[in-house]
Structure formats: structure tokens, C-alpha cells
Amino acid sequence: MDVRRKLGENVRLLRLQANLTQQEVADRIGVDRAHVSALEAGTRNPTILSLWHISLALGVKITDLLQDFPSQSGDSALAKKRASKRRGPRARKEESAG
């Protein structure tokens, strides 16, 4: 799952748990409602500062916004991609041919 989408799901869940509308969150962090909507839809790539403002607006820890994200050590696709970059393009060609 795309981390932006998971982040958006978490923001929406935490916002609803806090009984806040998108507009109320937007007012608290100084953006328009469409920005909050895009965050929740997973189409925005927020900065760490934006995440901090969102966590303050929702009254949660910043880590709560990132709950249930897959750990990098457990992400086999990422591990394979990193390993293939270390071996270089020639090693990848030989692996696919073998």
C-alpha cells in the first residue's frame, strides 16, 4: 500500500475520532479544506512540518499518523530493490538470464 494513502486513512480516522470536520482541521493548520481532503485521499505528500501541524490539530502524537506502516526491514520489495542497486545492472542481467 502507498504510504501516502495509509497516512491519509490514518488522518481521516483520527479526525473522525476527534469529532472534527475537514474544515475544522483545515482552520487549525492554516490550509483550505481541499488540502485536508487531498491529504486524506493520499494524493498529497506532506512535509514533516505539515505532519507536526496535523498531529497538533488532531491532538495526537505525530507517530499516531504513521501507525500500521510496514517497517522497512519487513518490506521485501524494498529490500530486493536496494540489493539489486548494490549489485549493479550487469548482475541483474545475469540473474534474469540464469
Distances (CA, A) of 32 to 11, 46, 59: 16, 14, 19
Quick check: 21 pLDDT over 70?
yes
In sequence order, the 6+-apart residues with CB closer than 8 A to the CB of 85 are none
What superfamily would CATH give domain 3-66? lambda repressor-like DNA-binding domains (1.10.260.40)
Q: Residues 48-68: pLDDT tens digits? A: 999 999 999 999 999 999 888
Q: Computed from CA positions of residues 81, 86, 89, 90, in that sequence, does the dihedral angle turn out positive or negative?
A: negative
Q: How far apart are CA 11 and CA 9, in angstroms?
A: 6
Q: Residues 27-51: pLDDT tens digits? A: 999 999 999 999 999 999 999 999 9
- Mean pLDDT (the chain) is 81
Looking at residue 93, what is its pLDDT? 56
> Start-end ranges of CATH 1.10.260.40 in the chain?
3-66
